[in-house]
Structure formats: C-alpha cells, structure tokens
C-alpha cells in the first residue's frame, strides 16, 4: 500500500470509535537523528562487505555474487530502502520503549517491519511479541521460510524471533514446519477471518461457479476449461464468473465466453451454485469449502500445486478438461473436510485464553494502521514525505486514549 493509499484508508475509516495511523505518524526528531548514525554505519559496512565465493571453494569455478547482487546490495545498504529501514526501525524502537503495552501482535510474513518490532521488544525485555500467520498458508509457502533454520548464524547477530507464533489450523502448521519453522513455539488458534462462514442450508440453483484469479490469463484458462468440460446435459446450466476483486476488468472476457458475471460475496452466491472451479492458487477454495460448496482446483502443468487445500482430506484436483468433466458428471459431489485445515471453535477460546493473560495488547501490520477502542492496527507501509517529525508525540497522546487489542477485518 502506497503512502497516499494509506492516508486515504485512514481518513475514510476514521470515526469516534476508530483511529487509524501509519507508522510514519510516530516518526520523531529523535528517531530521525538516530537514523542518520545508522545510515552512516550502513555505508561503511557496504564498503567492507564481500560476497564473492572463492574459486577454490566453488564447484563452479567461482561465483560472482558481488556482481550478481550489486543493485540489491546498494539499495539495501545505501539506497532509499536503507534510509527508510533505519527510520522505521528506530521509530519502532522508541514507540515500544515509550508505551506501556506488554504484548504486541503482528501479521507474520517475514517482512522487514516485523524484525524492527521484535528487536525493539527484545531490547526492552519485558514485552511479548506474537506473530500470527496469514489466513492462508500454502504448501511450500516461502513467506514462512526461515533460511537460518538449517544453517544457523554462529558468532554473530541472528534474526530476532518473536515470543511465539499463532497459526490457524493443523494443516497450516504442518506446511510451516515443512519449509523451516522459526525458533519459537507454533501455537494453534482459531481462524478469525472464517468464523462467520457457515454451511449453506439449501441449494436453490444449479449454476457452475468459476472464481477468477488476479491473473487475467489464469482466469481465462479457468473459464475456457470449465465451459469445455461441461457435458451436453449441462449446457443449459449457467456458468457464473466471479472476478477477482483486484482485477474487475476480467468481466468483459467472461461475458465474451458466455458466462454470467457477479461480484456478490460467495456466501450470497452459495445457494445458487452446484459446484465451483478455482485456480491453482485460489484462496477462495477455503471459503467455498466452509460454505459447503463442492470445489475442484484446476491445476497448472507449469506450476506446483499452490492450493491451500493441498493435504486436506477430501480435496479434489483436476489436471485437465477430462478430469473436470468427470467431476461435473459425478452425482454424489461433496465438500472436503475443512476441520483438518482450519480451527473454527466458537467462541475463539484459544485467542481468548491468550488475551486474558494481558489486559492491553497492540497489533502491528505491514499494510495499514487500524485502531479503534480496544482495537488497533499499525502499519509500516508508506513514506511520510509530508509529515512533520514532531507529529509522533501527538500521535502517541491520541493512541494513549485507547485500550488496544486484536482487530480482524473481513476482506
């Protein structure tokens, strides 16, 4: 999210019950001054850093790593990325130090802001940090890959690790453990985003739903394959296309291929649908399964299986049009067992058990800030070019008016 979009989001959602802030709102003169010293040390380190692999130690006769990563090194240590990384790191440092908050929650995706927050909490010593995973954790999800798991750093500064990490189900935990888990406990909690979804009570239609992908090429592949897979007895059925919210321009493509188009929520479309087709990495397959809609994932021969349902008991996958046709002709279609993927206990006792041990908590996120009475989200995105450095103090005073807890927003 850009700085401009972040500002627009904050202004749009501001109310007497909610206060929204970017991390840039907390930048102070003290943080800016400290960042200058850090940037100078970055520049010195850049001059001394050597990545080239010696010819005698490489089976390839020498790797020109220095040349290969020249642009990335320059931006990371002396470019604009280094400047804002230093500013935000010191901002988190001062924010955590000056607040009375004892527990911080953050969206865990191995982003740079997470390291700043965790490091700041560890420096203070009496603060707990809890990272919670994204609502969808796929097999081989590199967002959770810890490269230091198998080759730990010895005699140097290692990457800071949160007190523990919250994951919303048994299958996501298993997927994280396969790619290399962090050096901290993984705790199973409820999938808050999906608690409101319930199995549809009745089916009043026989439409075939195609859920679009962010990629227009992938969406067209799904529509073409689905239309071709329907047997003659199904030709009278409506093929309903729901475009990805991030790419609504696909609607014209779907209409040209004979589909009807709807942007209604999946829960509203559920009674009208006999089964659904999603793409290789379609996160909507989770929502569809929870709604009780039979769903099949159309795999891509050029890509590994990135479906969040991979590993779920009862999940169905199609390799080609023939597999799709066989699925469409099956009169005993059924949805998979979502309980093996997501934990959806109500009330969310696992979350509540953790929250009761601390009266106040703060939730930091890499995309935007969202604070309301007892609810907050901080952001590390956007550059406060128009922000006065002294704004941090007033932002802290306003934040002090709120009790802070976890917030969840349906996307």
**182, 329: one domain:** no
| Same domain assignment for residues 25 and 90 | yes
Same domain, 170 and 226: no
336 shares its domain with 356: no
Residue 200 counted as domain residue: no
Owner of token pair 């603060």 = 127
pLDDT digits (tens, 9 = 90+) for 331-352: 456 667 788 788 888 888 888 8
| Domain finish residue from 289, 307, 340 | 340
Output the tens digit of pLDDT for each of the chain's 411 residues: 677 888 888 888 888 888 888 889 899 999 999 999 999 999 998 888 777 655 555 555 556 677 778 888 888 889 999 999 999 999 999 999 998 888 999 999 888 899 999 999 999 989 999 999 988 888 888 888 877 777 766 666 677 899 999 999 888 999 898 888 888 899 999 998 888 888 888 888 889 999 999 999 999 999 999 999 988 777 778 999 999 988 889 999 999 999 999 999 999 999 999 999 999 988 899 999 999 899 999 998 888 888 988 888 888 899 999 999 888 887 456 667 788 788 888 888 888 886 444 333 344 444 333 333 333 333 333 323 233 333 444 444 444 333 333 232 333
Residues 326, 221: one domain?
A: yes
Considering 321, 340, 359, which residue would you say is the last residue of a domain? 340
| CATH number of the domain encompassing residue 309 | 3.40.50.2000
Residue of 259, 289, 258 lying closest to 276 (CA atoms): 289
CA 49 to chain centre: 32
- Which residues are CB-contacts of 23 (< 8 A; sequence separation ≥ 6)? 88, 91, 92, 113, 369, 378, 379, 380, 381, 382
Domain count, the chain: 2
Residue 199 lies in a domain: no
Measured CA to CA, the distance from residue 92 to residue 145 in angstroms comes to: 24
Task: State whether 235 and 313 are in the same domain.
Answer: yes
Name the percent of the chain in helix, strand, coil, to the closest 5.
40, 15, 45
Does any domain span residue 411?
A: no
Phi, psi of 331 (to 5 degrees): -80, -5
Asked if residue 331 is part of any domain, the answer here is yes
| Residue-range definition of the domain harbouring residue 161 | 3-193+346-399
- Do 74 and 102 lie in a common domain? yes
Q: Which of 317, 340, 363 is the last residue of a domain?
A: 340
Is 409 a member of any domain? no
Same domain, 176 and 219: no
Which of 219, 228, 283, 243 is CA-nearest to residue 295? Answer: 283
- Distance, in Å, from the CA atom of 208 to the CA atom of 272, rounded to the nearest integer, reads 9
Q: Is 282:270 a contact under the CB 8 Å cutoff?
A: no
Same domain, 171 and 271: no
Could you give the C-alpha distances from 304 to 155, 230, 299, 374, in angstroms and in order? 38, 25, 8, 42
Residues 226 and 105 in one domain: no
Euclidean distance between CA atoms 125 and 127, whole angstroms: 6
The answer to whether 371 and 385 have CB atoms below 8 angstroms apart is: no
Residues 211, 317, single domain; the answer is yes
């Amino acid at each position: 999210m850009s700085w401009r979009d972040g500002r627009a989001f904050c202004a749009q959602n501001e109310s007497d019950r909610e206060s929204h802030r970017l991390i840039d709102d907390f930048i102070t003169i003290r943080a800016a001054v400290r960042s200058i010293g850090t940037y100078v040390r970055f520049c010195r380190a850049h001059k001394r850093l050597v990545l080239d692999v010696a010819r005698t130690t490489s089976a390839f006769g020498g790797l020109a790593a220095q040349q290969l990563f020249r642009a990335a090194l320059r931006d990371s240590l002396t470019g604009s990325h280094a400047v804002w990384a230093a500013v935000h790191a010191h901002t988190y440092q001062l924010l955590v130090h000056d607040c009375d908050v004892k527990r911080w929650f953050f969206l865990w995706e191995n982003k740079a802001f997470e390291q700043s927050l965790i490091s700041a909490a560890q420096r203070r010593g009496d603060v707990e940090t809890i990272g919670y995973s994204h609502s969808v954790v796929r097999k081989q999800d590199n967002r959770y890959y810890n490269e230091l798991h198998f080759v730990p750093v010895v005699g140097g500064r290692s990457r800071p690790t949160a007190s523990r990490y919250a994951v919303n189900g048994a299958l996501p935990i298993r997927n994280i453990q396969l790619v290399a888990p962090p050096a901290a406990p993984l705790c199973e909690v409820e999938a808050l985003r999906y608690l409101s979804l319930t199995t549809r009570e009745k089916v009043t239609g026989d439409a075939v739903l195609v859920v679009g992908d962010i990629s227009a090429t992938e969406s067209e592949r799904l529509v073409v394959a689905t239309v071709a897979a329907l047997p003659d007895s199904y030709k009278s059925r409506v093929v309903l296309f729901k475009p990805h919210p991030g790419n609504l321009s696909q609607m014209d493509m779907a209409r040209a291929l004979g589909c009807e188009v709807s942007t209604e929520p999946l829960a509203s479309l559920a009674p009208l649908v006999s089964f659904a087709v999603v793409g290789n990495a379609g996160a909507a397959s989770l929502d569809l399964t929870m709604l009780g809609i039979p769903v099949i994932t159309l795999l891509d021969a050029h890509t590994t299986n990135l479906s969040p349902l991979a590993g779920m008991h009862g999940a169905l996958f199609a390799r080609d049009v023939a597999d799709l046709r066989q699925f469409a002709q099956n009169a005993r279609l059924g949805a998979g067992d979502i309980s093996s993927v997501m934990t959806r206990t109500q009330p969310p006792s696992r979350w509540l058990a953790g929250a009761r041990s601390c009266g106040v908590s703060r939730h930091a996120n890499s995309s935007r800030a969202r604070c309301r009475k007892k609810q907050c989200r901080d952001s590390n995105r956007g550059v406060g070019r128009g922000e006065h450095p002294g704004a941090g103090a007033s932002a802290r005073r306003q934040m002090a008016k709120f009790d802070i807890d976890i917030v969840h927003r349906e996307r």
